[in-house]
Chain A
């Protein structure tokens, strides 16, 4: 018992030691993240990073965009650009916009990176500031040709917050003259887009990811942990899962991938609506049409972050604001009566796929030629003139909203439009809207859907309303930074107001005092801008939810792919949120009430042929209204859908635009994701294994020794 006492004392002392701890200030430092299960632990280990990928697109001659180079995930240690010069091993360096220029003016030659003893083959570059994009990607253009440098890049993470927008002069990944091959005039070298870098039209053999705000936080947290002591035997890696099916199948152009079924063609559904609805009975009294055109699709380097606020959504919102204003003209029946006696029919057309070879306008014109169902009530009437609303979000300057009217040619129709614009401009008491004619030194109309109309019919009389004259004023044309902060809502309201009055003048040819009563609802325009150009509230705003049940909250104004068979009465699951919203909205605004009865429609069809069923998604039962609103599929005129597959038609001389159409398709993919985690060096792993084996072996030896000792002690008896 006396022997046991020291033991007892020792242990009691330890317990006493422990009991001292309570009074001491226990620093329960660090963040408290409670792990309640193994999946929780895995979530903490593998941090999923939120962002927007750049995907693989294909055309007839090759590929553009980005993807994993092979069939497997790309795992590469994170590196900031900044510290590369200081360290032998590549590290992640964050470069801000103002640092970037200094970095490159110090002439860090491209090849010094390959001269450094870079043992790691693949590194992930994290580039902050979208200003970096421009310079980095200019370098990347060399990269796509310079294989030695390209082999050092495993992946790229772009960090771009809204704070960088002020610092940047401009960034446009598109070309100097976007879609110059569709230009109706010869001067294709004209620089419409001065900020162009053309980076979105190049092919990159590595994944590129734009980090969202939460993604930036996650990556920053990882990079900040680099200060911990264990950095010598761990490294933070980014794992890109962006394997494209076309890479897997080895199909590297549109024709091959459509044959294999590893890609889908770009396209969507355009919407057109007439105000007032076209009376099918009076087929002999079809009036000439004023076609008001806007487009709803934009594009950027990153597939899902292309709001296209100024180009072209500001134009779309102006058109919708004008439709809304015209539908509310005092005494709706008066307007209808007036419009019954008016000289021109108003038709509103919102096109999609315009960024990818004017798919919407080409298909629309093609359907007109074919007299198809989609344009049944239009095909045999004359389109008198076209009025396109392009970018109108940046017209505000010094309190005056200035817009420029670019006309296709001098004709009576264009003069009529220009006169109407002038009268509308003057009708505003506040005199803060100016419509000016475009500079005569311009080679022609700016890149717009009207170019396609002109190519089809060089005699088209059209006016394109834009907020710029000789060059784009949108410094972020087709960039992920062309968002709500890039435009001014009052400029859009002004454009909508002048458009509404112009259309009224054109349609009614009646310059009476009713003009003054046409007002665009500014709060409606602002709400619509927030719905279409932001993720909060995005498409789940009340205005949109009133008409449809959106599948996504964030409006990705990218055209998307054509899934399923194109038809004028498509399965609504394959029609995009914005198209469905536009169809329902335009149908309601251009509708007339015949009598006071409104009937409900539950299955999307109404009893009368001149009626359509609107709001059938958000409410379980829709309403039947008299309206002429249709979907028109938008896809390349070189494509044909048959037997569940797409085929490319041979070139047809009569389709001049089809001859230069690249036929854009988008590769399919399984999943796209990015995660960041810490990896131990293999030496450490092996050391742990050796330690485990050693401990086991030593324990075994110890046990054997004890056993033999005890046995020997017992045998001594």
Chain B
């Protein structure tokens, strides 16, 4: 398929992530760290899962339910890890906030004194919640992007090496498009889902919003289960568009949620000024 096609597939899967990284993440070093740690967490989760499932592999390729079980257990585990990641994020936000403050006003001093000062000035700073809001969202975005990039690299990019050679490959069960193209498209969908569901999840945990907290695992699970549709002959014709439906729903929900938060923060700051 040659180098052109190989680069094309890589860009399809990871191009938007690259755009997001360049425009948002790369501006703040802390976001890069968040992205990397989130990628690492996701990969570790995969390693643990593969270790747990190793005795049962390889799964029989002509029945679907072991794969459903695999997807279910993986999603549950990863959602649990997401919650843990959020807890870590809370801790890190505090430290991040402290660093922000310290870099704004003070020279580097004793850390204990810093943290006390942090707590003291916390009340003052509350009057400017919008910075705090975008920071939080960006961190969540970086976390989500880390998960998405890890997914794309693991499930698409690692298989892409043969795509740079002269030959192409078609799978019998999805014979309309090359295997690499389908894999890149699915990876793109998952990148979108992971990135924006992390934003939804963090907001849900922070605000205690049950809907947001539940919707994320539901989205993740349904996306995972939808890939099982590809098992059917020419199933990818149905499966992939449905997957993109889920991805767009995620994107829309996230957009709506961010919009709501923005309006809330505007009202809040307006009322504070009065």
Contact = CB atoms under 8 A, between A and B. Distances in A.
Given A42-B162, A707-B24, A230 B215 contact: no
A714 B62 contact: no
A716 B266 contact: yes
A14 B253 contact: no
A11 B166 contact: no
Nearest to A17: B242
B172 A30 contact: yes
B162 A41 contact: yes
Nearest to B172: A30
A519 B233 CA distance: 65
Nearest to A18: B225
Contacts of B11: 689, 692-693, 695-696
Given A7-B253, A713-B266, A41 B12 contact: no
B249 interface: yes
Contact of A228 (B24, B168, B170, B231): B170
Contacts of A699: 15-16, 19-20
A580 B23 CA distance: 74
Given A3-B260, A695-B15, A689 B218 contact: no
A34 B58 contact: yes
Contacts of B270: 717
Contacts of B202: none
Interface stretch (A326-334, A536-544, A672-680): A672-680
Nearest to B239: A18
B262 A710 contact: yes
Given A21-B229, A696-B15, A14 B172 contact: no
Contacts of A44: 169
B242 A14 contact: yes
Interface residues of A, number: 65
Question: DSSP class of A's interface residues: helix, strand, loop or mixed?
Answer: helix
A700 interface: yes
A296 interface: no
Interface string B218-251: 1101100110110111000000001001100100
B253 to A, nearest CB: 5
Interface string B145-167: 00000000000001101100111
B2 to A, nearest CB: 5
A43 to B, nearest CB: 10
A717 B266 contact: yes
B8 A682 contact: no
Interface string B66-81: 0010000000000000
A280 interface: no
Contacts of B161: 38
B2 A38 contact: no
A228 B221 CA distance: 33
A519 B265 CA distance: 109
B158 A38 contact: yes
B228 A21 contact: yes
Nearest to A1: B211
B176 A41 contact: no
B22 interface: yes
A440 interface: no
B183 to A, nearest CB: 11
Nearest to A2: B211
A27 B18 contact: no
Given A1-B211, A714-B130, A15 B176 contact: no
A29 B230 CA distance: 11
Given A28-B61, A46-B167, 15 more contacts: A10-B249, A11-B219, A14-B242, A21-B229, A22-B68, A26-B232, A28-B63, A28-B64, A42-B165, A688-B8, A692-B11, A693-B11, A695-B15, A710-B262, A714-B134
Q: Which 4 A-B pairs have the closest CB atoms?
A: A692-B11, A696-B15, A30-B172, A699-B16
